[in-house]
Amino acid sequence: MTDLTTALRHTLDGRWAAVRDQIRGEFDPERFAPPSQELTMEEYRERVAKQVQLIAESGHPARGFPKSLGGNGDLGGSVTAFEMLGHADLSVMVKAGVHWGLFGGAVANLGTQRHHAAYLPSIIDGTLPGCFAMTETGHGSDVQSLGTTATYDPATDELVVHTQTPAARKDYIGNAARDGRMAAVFAQLVSRGESHGVHCVLVPIRDEAGSALPGVTIGDCGAKAGLGGVDNGRLTFDHVRVPRTNLLNRYGDLDETGVYTSPIENPTRRFFTMLGTLVRGRVSVAGAAGAATRTALTLAVTYAGHRRQFAPPGGAEEVLLLDYRAHQRKLLPALARTYALQLAQNQLVSLMHDVQSADAVDEHAQRELEARAAGIKAVSTSHATATIQTCREACGGAGYLAVNRLPMLKADTDVFTTFEGDNTVLLQLVAKGLLTDYRDEFGSLDTLGMVRFGARQFAGAVIERTAARGLIQRLIDAAPGRDSESGPRDRGWQLELFEDREKHLLETLAMRLRKAADPESDAFTVFNDAQDHVLSTARAHVDRVVLEAFVSAVDECTDAGAKAVLDQVCDLYALSTIETEKGWYLEHGRITPARSKQVTAAVNDLCAALRPRAQELVDAFGIPESWLGTELLEEPARAFAQG
Ligand SMILES: Cc1cc2nc3c(=O)[nH]c(=O)nc-3n(C[C@H](O)[C@H](O)[C@H](O)COP(=O)(O)OP(=O)(O)OC[C@H]3O[C@@H](n4cnc5c(N)ncnc54)[C@H](O)[C@@H]3O)c2cc1C
């Protein structure tokens, strides 16, 4: 490991570097690597279930639960450990995430003392495998419209959980098809003939012997595109009775006469507060997507550094793939964005840790955390899907062989764009958050309510700075004007361009949506017609947040050599993003055609400048070599052996 690699890793590893090192040293790749040969579905599920048990025995899962609930209270460390698992078999990461993160998270965050005492010890030690049963066949993104009901029966002091229609069947539920014994079931809570909206109820689904309990029908989703070791299943409830006290009652409770009470009066606010406490799953998926992307880039960059193809005319030696500009263009801007996203992820994990560990609830910080998690999750998982595909192509035929991991990384991460919130829907949430300036007077969060509110309030919408407010403003103030002579690598100019795009998109979006307040117009149509604009606004926001995270990480780096390289990588992230969006910048007169060409030239120059550093840049990810055991990395040895 070079000094540069060590210093870069220090910046990338961030606040929970010690946890990363612990996992690097502790997790034996023999036991946690993806299977080296094709397994039947049952063999693979069995293998992953055993690996999850090994994780339980390692004691790591306790990190994710507050000390008061029997854990270690290191939430950031827990999410970071899960992120590191993303370098190994993603089926293990997902199954562990479903049990401890989603099921355990629901009990910890939506339940109260009685649930914590009864269930958390056996959730933490893995002896009560659980499911998080939210999605139904009929409704995935629109959780408020779930059809399962939990109806209070005062005669027996029980809740009756029932699947009202075939569309209300719980679907895709991780851990349901084979191993789960209990499910955190999201259902419409009904009492005294009145519905109180979606709440979560604990429902045992299997007995100790693994058989479905009376009234519970368990189905199997069968083979999937990836994540073959995860047993996704379907749950149907036929008037299944559980004690009233199985209602996770932190945000809404029933007494024995069926009277409903809640500390949050507004039902929509209550619903979103409940969902908001579950943000950790989204943060974890973003982290795992980052880990998988880094694995793919490490493979592709290393391969490109020793794989040769075509000799130049008269040249004795064939050219290394990484010396081709086209190849640099494929991998290095993606590498720069991967750095940027890891630094933004580190900030997000830190924010999550501080908000969720605080004694008092800070609603503004909680809203900010939810919006940030939604945006980073959407952008990181889309980036993973695109980059892993690029890496597969960059390795040619070798990239297609299962032994080289890229096909499996591609298949396993594909669904990250869908679960824990579909990316399109999440980006809409981000834009809504921006329009309302995180105000909780938001009222009804349904589309029409949002549109009306957004139209009234947009004048107050501001660009909130995320990190190092003073630093960013100083850099922007120092930028010597549009298309300045200082060139496209002026950081202040880049920051201003990102900020200007976000601000313009947000203001013009709000102006468009203002029409919805007109009694003559159909608010839904106004909003629907602007959906592309909504998504662009959210993306521009995330791009800016990510750039600011990168800029502040460069500023904090104390190693001069690493700082200089990070500065170039940050330039490459900023300029390749501007290049991607240059149509918008040109259309809106933000850059001249001449500056646009300079940006393209600067991206090429940066690719050339970073090419000699490419191996160190991926080595800095700190993925232990034994975790990357592929034929692809052994190419020079093979070529040599073959003469
Ligand atoms: C492998 C796997 C594991 C899963 N594990 C779990 C689990 O353990 N527990 C659980 O509860 N769920 C789980 N899910 C379900 C997952 O969370 C949902 O699939 C996801 O929320 C999307 O819901 P949906 O499939 O109904 O898609 P839909 O919501 O129907 O979306 C389909 C398409 O419509 C688009 N769309 C939807 N609404 C809008 C809109 N308003 N505007 C524009 N476009 C829109 C989306 O962008 C998407 O492209 C899992 C799913 C999979 C595939």
Predicted confidence (pLDDT) per residue in 209-267, tens digit: 999 999 999 999 999 999 999 999 999 999 999 999 999 999 999 999 999 999 999 99
Q: Which atom of ligand 1 is nearest to the CA of 174?
A: 8
Q: Which atom of ligand 1 is nearest to the CA of 415?
A: 53
* Helix H or strand E segment including 170: strand 170-173
Q: Minimal CA–CA distance to 338: which of 183, 124, 570?
A: 570
pLDDT at position 444 = 37
Q: Is the CB of 232 under 6 A from ligand 1?
A: yes
The answer to whether 177 and 231 are in contact (CB under 8 A) is: yes
> Which residue is closest in CA terms to ligand 1's atom 24?
140
pLDDT at position 527 = 86
Three-state SS sequence of 82-123: HHHHCCCCHHHHHHHHHHHHHHHHHHHHHCCHHHHHHHHHHH
Count of beta carbons in the 10 Å neighbourhood of residue 144: 15
20: Cβ contacts below 8 Å, ≥ 6 apart: 13, 80, 84, 622
Mutating to test ligand 1, I would choose from 90, 110, 132, 135 the residue with most ligand atoms within 8 A of its C-beta, which is 135
Confidence band, pLDDT 50/70/90 cuts, at residue 116: very high
Give 636's DSSP letter.
H
pLDDT at position 474 = 78
Q: Minimal CA–CA distance to 422: which of 382, 367, 390?
A: 382
Q: Which residues of 186-205 are buried (b: 16+ CB within 10 A; e: fewer)?
A: bbbbbbeeeebbbbbbbbeb
Q: Is the CB of 449 under 6 A from ligand 1?
A: no
Q: Is the CB of 424 under 6 A from ligand 1?
A: yes
Ligand 1 centre distance from Cα of residue 140 (Å): 4
Ligand 1 centre distance from Cα of residue 136 (Å): 9
Q: Is the CB of 278 under 6 A from ligand 1?
A: no
Q: Is the CB of 148 under 6 A from ligand 1?
A: no
- Token pair of 598 as six digits: 């300079």
Q: Minimal CA–CA distance to 74: which of 85, 83, 60, 63?
A: 63
Q: Is the CB of 135 under 6 A from ligand 1?
A: yes
Look at residue 528 and tell me whether its pLDDT is greater than 70: yes
Look at residue 451 and tell me whether its pLDDT is greater than 50: no
Q: How far apart are CA 219 and CA 483, in angstroms?
A: 61
Instruction: List Cα–Cα distances, 378 to 224, 368, 430, 498, in angstroms.
Output: 22, 15, 10, 18
Q: Is the CB of 415 under 6 A from ligand 1?
A: yes
Q: Is the CB of 191 under 6 A from ligand 1?
A: no
Confidence band, pLDDT 50/70/90 cuts, at residue 628: confident
Total residues belonging to the chain: 643
206: Cβ contacts below 8 Å, ≥ 6 apart: 180, 181, 212, 213, 216, 218
The mean pLDDT value for 538-544 works out to 97
Q: Which atom of ligand 1 is nearest to the CA of 170?
A: 11
Q: How far apart are CA 258 and CA 109, in angstroms?
A: 23
> Which residue is closest in CA terms to ligand 1's atom 16?
419
Ligand 1 centre distance from Cα of residue 137 (Å): 10
Three-state SS sequence of 572-633: HHHHHHHHHCHHHHHHCCCCCHHHHHHHHHHHHHHHHHHHHHHHHHHHCCCCCHHHHCCCHH
Q: Is the CB of 103 under 6 A from ligand 1?
A: no
Rg of the chain over all Cα atoms, to the nearest angstrom: 25
The mean pLDDT value for 51-76 works out to 91
pLDDT digits (tens, 9 = 90+) for 265-305: 999 889 988 988 889 999 999 999 999 999 999 999 999 99
Count of beta carbons in the 10 Å neighbourhood of residue 360: 4
Q: Is the CB of 98 under 6 A from ligand 1?
A: yes
Mutating to test ligand 1, I would choose from 171, 418, 536 the residue with most ligand atoms within 8 A of its C-beta, which is 418
Q: Is the CB of 627 under 6 A from ligand 1?
A: no
Q: Is the CB of 422 under 6 A from ligand 1?
A: yes
Look at residue 504 and tell me whether its pLDDT is greater than 50: yes
The mean pLDDT value for 464-477 works out to 70
Ligand 1 centre distance from Cα of residue 286 (Å): 16
| Residue with tokens 């629907």, as numbered in its chain | 528
pLDDT at position 472 = 79
243: Cβ contacts below 8 Å, ≥ 6 apart: 157, 158, 159
Q: For 183, phi and psi rounded to 5 degrees? A: -125, 140
Average pLDDT in the chain? 91
How far is residue 308 CA from its own chain's centroid?
36
> Which residue is closest in CA terms to ligand 1's atom 39?
425
* Amino acid residing at 431: A
Three-state SS sequence of 201-228: EEEECECCCCCECCCEEEEECCCCCCCC
Ligand 1 centre distance from Cα of residue 145 (Å): 13
Q: Is the CB of 172 under 6 A from ligand 1?
A: yes
130 Ramachandran zone, left/alpha/beta (phi>0; psi -120 to 50): beta
Ligand 1 centre distance from Cα of residue 419 (Å): 6
Mutating to test ligand 1, I would choose from 99, 200, 424, 529 the residue with most ligand atoms within 8 A of its C-beta, which is 424
Q: How far apart are CA 189 and CA 87, in angstroms?
A: 40
| Residue with tokens 């993306």, as numbered in its chain | 539
Q: Is the CB of 413 under 6 A from ligand 1?
A: no
Count of beta carbons in the 10 Å neighbourhood of residue 392: 21
Q: Which atom of ligand 1 is nearest to the CA of 131?
A: 8
451: Cβ contacts below 8 Å, ≥ 6 apart: 513, 516, 523, 524, 526, 527
Ligand 1 centre distance from Cα of residue 451 (Å): 23
Q: Which atom of ligand 1 is nearest to the CA of 420?
A: 17
3-state DSSP assignment of residue 17: helix
- Token pair of 157 as six digits: 């002091």
Confidence band, pLDDT 50/70/90 cuts, at residue 481: low
Q: Is the CB of 228 under 6 A from ligand 1?
A: no
Look at residue 530 and tell me whether its pLDDT is greater than 70: yes
Q: Which atom of ligand 1 is nearest to the CA of 186?
A: 11
Ligand 1 centre distance from Cα of residue 74 (Å): 30
Q: Is the CB of 552 under 6 A from ligand 1?
A: no
Ligand 1 centre distance from Cα of residue 170 (Å): 12
Q: Is the CB of 411 under 6 A from ligand 1?
A: no
Mutating to test ligand 1, I would choose from 420, 425, 429, 446 the residue with most ligand atoms within 8 A of its C-beta, which is 425
pLDDT at position 34 = 82
Angle at 11 between CA 489 and CA 295, to 5 degrees: 95
Q: Is the CB of 174 under 6 A from ligand 1?
A: yes
Q: Is the CB of 219 under 6 A from ligand 1?
A: no
pLDDT digits (tens, 9 = 90+) for 25-42: 887 767 787 888 889 999
| Better pLDDT: 358 or 188 | 188
Ligand 1 centre distance from Cα of residue 124 (Å): 28
| Residue with tokens 């084979």, as numbered in its chain | 178
